[in-house]
């Protein structure tokens, strides 16, 4: 491999000419599989005579090559060529020296990424010398080599951070961490005051390594005093360290990103993690008690009070202006204080300070400050996003301050709630400047759900609104108008109702005016508030009705400007509320929504194509997710429109033609994240219209192609639409053998593919059922493959759900054509028909294997079809027991009314649940009965559940790894009725069908009929007469119908 030629290719990859860039990338890809290429790339990265940009391009290539192809399993893609062994060896020999001599941080990051993937594959078995190599680097007198040792130690820990039950990480911790804490302590004691980055960078790497090691577990070594004491001392030193101004940039954003403040951030994070995950005995899940109970007791007694004391000191320095704190550090401080609320021991520390913290630290965070003003002016959309969605900037100090406020109010209600509200009232009554009034109302909005659930407070809210909120709608400061809307919307959503109609009218008038406010955040908050008023008040609903078109247009415009998902919820609510009023403009509204969807989908796709696949990038979040989630929200709003206009088939058909192109666009471009939403739309449209339009058939063809390629895992999402295509497009399937073959192929793939599970097989069975039920007499070409596939599936069944579904397929085949199905079964092998009948009648005798109304009715009708057969077509292997068809049907009739009644009760319960939606348990908001004991709430119980489930899965994994056979102890869930399921059998009366079949049986097969009826038990003979009476009654009722 010519190093110069390869160097030239890498230098062309960042050419300003896209054609040159593309040619170079393709050429490098062609060379990728050649032995010696990786070795040459390593030489380029280490060559000081090559320009830095080219070395960086080579390092990026190396990282990506190692990530995709260092190890390739048997299911490799065609473009994956494994790195040859000689190159792998050279990589392991060269990579540590390259990190030590790296020309830039950008190159180091790429080399570190490659190193982590090599470690994950080869360490320790294939790289036994690595630990000693790292120890030599850490013991070096060269700062660059120590830095390389720290980088390598971090990547080794990262490679094993998520491994359960492995002994590698504890050994790395015990081997490296005593040296790392010594290096960090010495570096801290000799830290230069100037701008040099060597010490803080090494400190940052060491603390990040410790933090990474405790994501899942705290090793026995880390729990020991031998480790905890020096690390604890180091962490406290870093937190307390005053950083000279000359050591960090003057700009606050740059300072936030500086190495010194990164080091501080990791110190805060470690202390918080040690307490939250391992050192808080009152909240420690039971499954972790064995490993951490002793440590937790020690930590909460000896370390938590010191952490609290230091954090209080840091806050005092910050609020007094004597020290600066980065936003990430403030977030960690607030998070620690929040964790201190529930345990009795730490609440005792926090309780005397909470009012001071509230007024001096929480309140300034929630007040309007220059940072918020700058964001309002420069990026009002982002301002709204972070104020409306509490999870949008979850790691900000504002979000953490709000969470702290929530925790105080909900967990220590008796002690804190009234003092908090008293503070808000004092601020507002003192008539301060607008920024402080904003802070008080912002706190009110945050606490709205709590206020409206407190028996001593909620009655005062109307007076509060008139006195403190209504005047702010006319404030000169736009942010005051916005927060006034937010307070109103929040408390109305939480259950507040005006007792005075004039007060309601005044607030409605103010909100209506705010919808036309010149400032975007005000308009957004006004729309949110109006939505809540419309939902809550019939008076407002009636008042808005004449103007709902304008409101929807405003919402659409705002949604297009901001891509805020919450506006989609507003639109959904408005569409649901004003279905009749919006019918004339439904098509126009849908077209606008589809335009927005297309834009978001394309922007999402463009961002996806630009991003590489990297676990760490995924974990840190992706800004592109905003576009995807926004597109999902718009699709959901379109679904709401579809539901709203289903009373008008003409408009619905018109809307369908507008929607189909966005479905095709999504499927053709394989936007997998949006498939669920698109198939929901296809399902809704085809189901509500009960027909398939010509333009919808390409969606069916695309669905088949995708299932056979990129979207094989999406059968669950595709099934309702596929079923509708078969059910409502029967004429097309009768005419198109290729369409029937596509559906058959999906069924066979779903049941046979090793890539898919039993749930997919169940879905495949449902599709096969749909074909046999809807294409009676027109699916003869599919009957044999369906029967053969279903019979072969019997041996692979592990769940009751698949047993029932597969049985239904074979029973459907009997109903479709009993003679042909029995013949196919006999051709499959001697005694096959008898084996199926044994399976079937075992299910008939076991109600749990035919649990639903559909299962029972299907089997009754299939048994009826057998009774009507020509006796000459009954295979010899089942002739002996053939008379059992009558007793089998009667046994099903005994259970059938119970199943019908159970289905009816389920429908009623479902309706009642729908009516009760939105009702929340007040106890999760307020703890009115507490003393100062430990608090165990819904969040604590959730963490307990997750920890216990994780423990169970780890134990199961360990048993499997040890070769122990797993016994399925879990009971399978009962198979419940599918209330939305419709089939051609719904209109068939099983009693009338049975009577007709029995008459036919008597005429066609007299001997069989006599044997079938005389062999009945006395009880079944009596029951037969009852079934015939009911059948006669139903026949009379049908005849009487017009």
Query: What average pLDDT score do residues 991-1015 get?
Result: 93
Which helix (H) or strand (E) segment is 133 a member of? helix 130-138
Task: State the number of CA atoms in the 13 A half-sphere of 954 facing the CB.
Answer: 15
Confidence of residue 620 (pLDDT cuts 50, 70, 90): very low
Look at residue 473 and tell me whether its pLDDT is greater than 90: yes
B/e letters for 960-996, b = 16+ CB within 10 Å, e = fewer, are eeeeeeeeeeeeeeebebeeeeebebeeeebbbbbbe
Residue 661's pLDDT is what?
97
The whole-number average pLDDT for the span 51-80 is 82
Q: How confident is the model at residue 848 (pLDDT cuts 50, 70, 90)?
A: confident
Q: State how far the Cα of 784 lies from the Cα of 775, in Å rounded to an integer.
A: 15
Confidence of residue 911 (pLDDT cuts 50, 70, 90): confident
Report residue 712 as tokens: 């094989």
Asked whether residue 736 carries a pLDDT value surpassing 80, the answer given is: yes
Whole-number percent of the chain with pLDDT over 70: 94
pLDDT class for 972, splitting at 50, 70, 90? Answer: low
What is the rounded distance in angstroms from the CA atom of residue 643 to the CA atom of residue 575? 9
Q: How would residue 652 be classed by pLDDT, with cut points 50, 70 and 90?
A: very high
CA 694 to chain centre: 35
Largest CA distance in the chain: 107
Distance CA 723, CA 687 (A): 10
Helices and strands in the chain: count of H runs, count of E runs: 54, 0
Alpha-carbon gap, residue 508 to 341, rounded angstroms: 39
pLDDT, average across residues 948-966? 71
Q: What is the pLDDT of residues 654-667, one digit of tens each?
A: 999 999 999 999 99
Share of the chain above pLDDT 90, in %: 74
Task: Tell me the C-alpha distance between 100 and 588, whole Å.
Answer: 63
Strand, coil or helix: 207: helix
Per this entry, what is the length of the chain? Answer: 1042
Give residue 930's pLDDT: 63
Cβ–Cβ < 8 Å for 103, 133: no
Q: How far apart are CA 22 and CA 10, in angstroms?
A: 11
pLDDT band at 625 (very low <50, low <70, confident <90, very high): low
Task: For residue range 687-723, list pLDDT tens digits in order.
Answer: 999 999 999 999 999 999 999 988 999 999 999 999 9
For the record, the structure tokens of 468 come out as 């403190």
Whether 621 shows a pLDDT value over 50: the answer reads: no
Closest CA to 721 of 745, 694, 688, 749: 688
pLDDT at 945: 87
Would you list the DSSP string of 506-542? Answer: HHHHHHHHHTT-SSHHHHHHHHHHHHHHHHH-HHHHH
**How far is the C-alpha of 532 from the C-alpha of 550, rounded, in Å?**
17
Using one digit for the tens of pLDDT, what is the confidence trace for 332-362?
999 999 999 999 999 999 999 999 999 999 9
Give pLDDT tens digits for 140-179.
999 999 999 999 999 999 999 988 767 899 999 999 999 9
Across residues 96-113, what is the average pLDDT? Answer: 96
Residue in this structure with the two tokens 């990338």, named with its chain if needed = 25
> What pLDDT is stored for residue 416 in this prediction?
95
- What does the pLDDT read at residue 929? 67
| Average pLDDT value for residue range 855-868 | 95
Residue 565's pLDDT is what? 82
Q: Please report which confidence band the pLDDT of residue 1026 belongs to, taking 50, 70 and 90 as the band edges.
A: very high
pLDDT tens digits, one per residue of 407-466: 999 999 999 999 999 999 999 999 999 999 999 999 999 999 999 999 999 999 999 999
Vertex 849 angle, CA 845 and 852, to 5°: 110
Q: Enumerate residues 6+ apart whose C-beta is below 8 A from 33.
A: 81
Mean model confidence pLDDT for the chain? 90
Residues 6+ apart with CB under 8 A from 849: 800, 803, 804, 807, 842, 843
Instruction: Please report the pLDDT score of residue 327 as a whole number.
Output: 95
Give the Cα separation of 573 and 9 in Å (integer). 56
What number of other Cβ atoms are within 10 A of residue 462's Cβ? 17
Give 406's pLDDT tier (boundaries 50, 70, 90): very high
By CB neighbour count within 10 A (0-12 exposed, 13-18 middle, 19+ buried), where does 431 fall?
Answer: exposed
**What tens digit of pLDDT does each residue of 789-839 get?**
999 998 888 889 999 999 999 999 999 999 999 999 988 888 888 999 998
Residue 490: both structure tokens together: 């929040």
CB-CB contact of 256 with 328 (8 Å): yes
Contact 783, 791 (CB under 8 A): no
Residue 782 has pLDDT above 90, yes or no: yes
What number is the average pLDDT over the span 541-546?
Answer: 94
610 has pLDDT over 60: no
Residue with the bigger pLDDT between 659 and 949: it is 659
Measured CA angle at 247 (ends 244, 252), to 5 deg: 90
State how far the Cα of 202 lies from the Cα of 146, in Å rounded to an integer.
Answer: 8
DSSP 8-state code for residue 978: -
Q: What is the pLDDT of residue 351?
A: 96
Ordered DSSP codes for 845-913: T-GGGS-SHHHHHHHHHHHHHHHTS-GGGS-HHHHTTTTHHHHHHHHHHHHHHHHHHHHHHHHHHHHHH
Q: How deeply is 321 buried, as exposed, middle or buried, from its count of CB atoms within 10 A (0-12, 13-18, 19+)? A: exposed
Q: Is the pLDDT of residue 612 over 60?
A: no
Across residues 251-262, what is the average pLDDT? Answer: 93
Residue 615 confidence class, pLDDT cut points 50, 70, 90:
very low
CA–CA distance, 297 with 282 (Å, rounded to integer): 9
Alpha-carbon gap, residue 278 to 672, rounded angstroms = 39
* Higher local confidence (pLDDT), 998 or 391: 998
Tokens representing 169 are: 């990480």
Stretch 581-604: mean pLDDT, rounded?
A: 92
């Amino acid at each position: 491999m010519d190093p110069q030629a390869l160097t030239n290719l890498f230098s062309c990859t960042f050419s300003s000419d896209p054609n040159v860039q593309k040619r170079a990338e393709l050429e490098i890809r062609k060379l990728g599989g050649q032995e010696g290429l990786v070795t040459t790339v390593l030489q380029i990265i280490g060559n000081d005579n090559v320009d830095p940009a080219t070395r960086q391009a080579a390092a990026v290539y190396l990282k990506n090559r190692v990530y995709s192809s260092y190890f390739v399993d048997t299911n490799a893609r065609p473009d994956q060529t494994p790195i040859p062994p000689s190159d792998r060896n050279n990589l392991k020999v060269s990579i540590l020296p390259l990190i030590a001599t790296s020309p830039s941080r950008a190159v180091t990051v790429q080399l570190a990424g490659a190193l982590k993937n090599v470690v994950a594959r080869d360490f320790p078995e294939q790289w036994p010398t690595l630990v000693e190599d790292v120890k030599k680097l850490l013991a070096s007198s060269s700062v660059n080599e120590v830095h390389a040792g720290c980088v390598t130690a971090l990547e080794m820990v990262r490679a094993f951070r998520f491994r359960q039950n492995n002994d590698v990480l504890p050994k790395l911790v015990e081997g490296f961490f005593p040296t790392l804490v010594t290096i960090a302590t010495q570096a801290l004691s000799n830290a230069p005051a100037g701008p040099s980055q060597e010490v803080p960078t090494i400190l940052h790497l060491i603390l990040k390594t410790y933090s990474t090691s405790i994501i899942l577990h705290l090793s026995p070594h880390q729990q020991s005093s031998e480790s905890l004491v020096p690390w604890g001392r180091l962490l406290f030193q870093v937190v307390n360290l005053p950083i000279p101004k000359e050591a960090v940039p003057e700009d606050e954003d740059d300072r936030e990103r500086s190495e010194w403040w990164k080091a501080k951030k990791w110190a805060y994070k470690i202390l918080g993690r040690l307490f939250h995950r391992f050192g808080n005995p009152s909240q420690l899940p039971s499954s972790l008690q064995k490993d951490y109970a002793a440590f937790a007791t020690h930590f909460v007694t000896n370390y938590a009070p010191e952490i609290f004391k230091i954090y209080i000191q840091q806050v005092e320095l910050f609020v007094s202006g004597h020290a600066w704190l980065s936003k990430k550090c403030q977030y960690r401080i607030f998070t620690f204080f929040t964790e201190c609320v529930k345990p009795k021991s730490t609440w005792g520390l926090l309780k005397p300070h909470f009012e001071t913290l509230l007024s001096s630290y929480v309140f300034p965070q929630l007040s309007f400050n220059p940072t918020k003003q700058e964001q309002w002016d420069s990026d009002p959309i982002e301002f709204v996003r972070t104020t409306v969605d509490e999870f949008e900037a979850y790691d900000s100090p504002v979000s953490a301050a709000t969470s702290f406020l929530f925790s105080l109010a909900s967990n220590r209600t008796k002690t804190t709630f009234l003092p908090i509200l008293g503070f808000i009232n004092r601020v507002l009554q003192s008539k301060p400047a607008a920024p402080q009034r904003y802070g008080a109302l912002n706190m009110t909005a945050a606490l709205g759900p709590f206020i409206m659930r407190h028996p001593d407070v909620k009655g005062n809210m109307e007076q509060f609104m008139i006195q403190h909120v209504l005047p702010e709608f006319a404030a000169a400061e736009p942010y005051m108008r916005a927060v006034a809307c937010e307070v109103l919307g929040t408390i109305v959503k939480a259950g507040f109702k005006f007792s005075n109609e004039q007060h309601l009218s005044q607030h409605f008038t103010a909100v209506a005016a705010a919808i036309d406010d010149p400032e975007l955040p005000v308009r957004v908050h006004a729309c949110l508030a109006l939505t809540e008023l419309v939902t809550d008040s019939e008076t407002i609903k009636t008042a808005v009705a004449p103007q709902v078109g304008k409101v929807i247009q405003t919402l659409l415009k705002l949604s297009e400007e901001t891509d805020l998902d919450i506006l989609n919820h507003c639109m959904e609510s408005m569409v649901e509320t004003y279905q009749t009023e919006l019918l004339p403009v439904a098509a126009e509204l849908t077209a606008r929504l589809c335009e927005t969807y297309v834009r978001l989908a394309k922007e999402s796709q463009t961002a996806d194509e630009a991003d590489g696949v990297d676990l760490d990038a995924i974990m840190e979040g992706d800004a592109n997710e905003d576009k995807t989630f926004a597109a999902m929200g718009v699709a959901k709003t379109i679904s709401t429109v579809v539901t709203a206009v289903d009373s008008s088939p003409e408009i619905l058909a018109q809307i369908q033609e507008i929607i189909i192109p966005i479905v095709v666009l999504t499927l053709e471009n394989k936007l997998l994240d949006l498939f669920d939403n698109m198939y929901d739309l296809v399902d809704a449209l085809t189901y509500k219209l009960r027909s398939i339009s010509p333009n919808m058939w390409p969606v069916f063809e695309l669905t088949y192609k995708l299932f056979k390629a990129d979207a094989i895992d999406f059968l669950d999402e595709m099934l309702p639409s596929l079923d509708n295509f078969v059910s409502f497009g029967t004429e097309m399937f009768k005419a198109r053998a290729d369409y029937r073959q596509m559906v058959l192929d999906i069924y066979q793939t779903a049941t046979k593919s090793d890539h898919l599970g039993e749930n997919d097989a169940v879905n495949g069975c449902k599709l096969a059922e749909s074909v046999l039920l809807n294409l009676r007499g027109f699916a003869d070409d599919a009957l044999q493959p369906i029967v053969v596939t279903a019979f072969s599936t019997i041996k692979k069944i592990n769940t009751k759900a698949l047993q029932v579904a597969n049985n239904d397929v074979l029973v459907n085949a009997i109903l479709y054509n009993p003679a042909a199905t029995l013949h196919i079964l006999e051709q499959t092998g001697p005694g096959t028909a008898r084996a199926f009948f044994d399976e079937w009648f075992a299910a008939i005798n076991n109600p749990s294997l035919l649990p639903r109304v559909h299962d029972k009715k299907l089997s009754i009708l299939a048994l009826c079809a057998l009774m009507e057969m020509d006796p000459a077509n009954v295979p010899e292997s089942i002739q002996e027991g053939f008379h059992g068809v009558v007793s089998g049907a009667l046994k099903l009739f005994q259970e059938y009314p119970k199943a019908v009644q159970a289905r009816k009760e389920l429908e009623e319960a479902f309706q009642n649940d729908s009516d009760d939606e939105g009702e929340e348990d007040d106890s999760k908001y307020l703890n009115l009965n507490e003393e100062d004991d430990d608090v165990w709430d819904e969040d604590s119980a959730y963490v307990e559940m997750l920890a216990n489930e994780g423990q169970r899965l780890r134990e199961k994994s360990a048993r499997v790894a040890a070769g122990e056979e797993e016994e399925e102890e879990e009971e399978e869930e009962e198979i419940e009725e599918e209330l939305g399921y419709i089939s051609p059998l719904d209109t068939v009366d099983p009693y009338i069908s049975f009577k007709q079949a029995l008459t036919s049986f008597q005429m066609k097969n007299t001997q069989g009929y006599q044997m079938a009826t005389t062999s009945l038990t006395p009880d079944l003979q009596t029951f037969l007469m009852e079934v015939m009476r009911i059948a006669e009654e139903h026949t009379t009722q049908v005849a009487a119908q017009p």
